[in-house]
A = this chain, B = another copy of it.
Amino acid sequence: MERKWECDNPLRRQAWSAAINATLRVLEGKWKIVIINELMAAKGRPLRFSELERLIPDVTQKMLIQQLKGLQQDDIIRRTVYPQVPPRVEYALTTLGHALGPAMTALIDWAELRHQHEVNGMDPRGVSDDGRVER
């Protein structure tokens, strides 16, 4: 169901903006989406730290840990330590993390739409007959 944006209440709009921004803050960070994506593709099977390193070749150890910590603090992933030598640490999506699915598909859908606009060259800019300028 499409939500209506015909909202004349400014406080309501503020609340929506704040909610969206809060979600974006959780997702932003160069590697967070990649991490979440790998965990989703794993279909519930937890991934070890070394597996994530292998699946995401370009990330540095420092960044991977940093982003994992962030996701953990926002309750998107769960970290489990098995007290062994050598150590074994697994990461898995929480319920909340798994619930990001619809939002992520919506973002992908928009990206695809955008790609089509680029190809077709929609919404052209230029100078109108009556002197208005779009730039």
This chain: copies in complex: 2
Please tell me if the beta carbons of B28 and A83 are within 8 angstroms of each other in the complex: no
A73 to chain B, nearest CB (A): 11
From B13, B94, B102, contact of A106 by CB (8 A)? B102
Q: Which residue of B lies closest to A7 (CB)?
A: B41
What chain B residues lie within 8 Å of A2 (beta carbons)? 101-102, 105
From B13, B114, B135, contact of A38 by CB (8 A)? B13
Knowing that A24-B28, A96-B123, A103-B109 touch, tell me 16 more A-B residue pairs with CB under 8 angstroms: A2-B105, A3-B101, A16-B108, A17-B37, A20-B104, A20-B108, A28-B28, A75-B123, A79-B134, A83-B133, A95-B122, A95-B123, A96-B113, A96-B122, A102-B110, A103-B110
What would 21 A/B residue contacts be, using CB atoms closer than 8 Å?
A2-B101, A3-B105, A5-B41, A5-B101, A6-B43, A17-B34, A19-B111, A20-B108, A21-B30, A23-B114, A24-B33, A78-B125, A78-B134, A81-B132, A82-B131, A83-B133, A95-B117, A96-B123, A99-B113, A103-B110, A105-B106
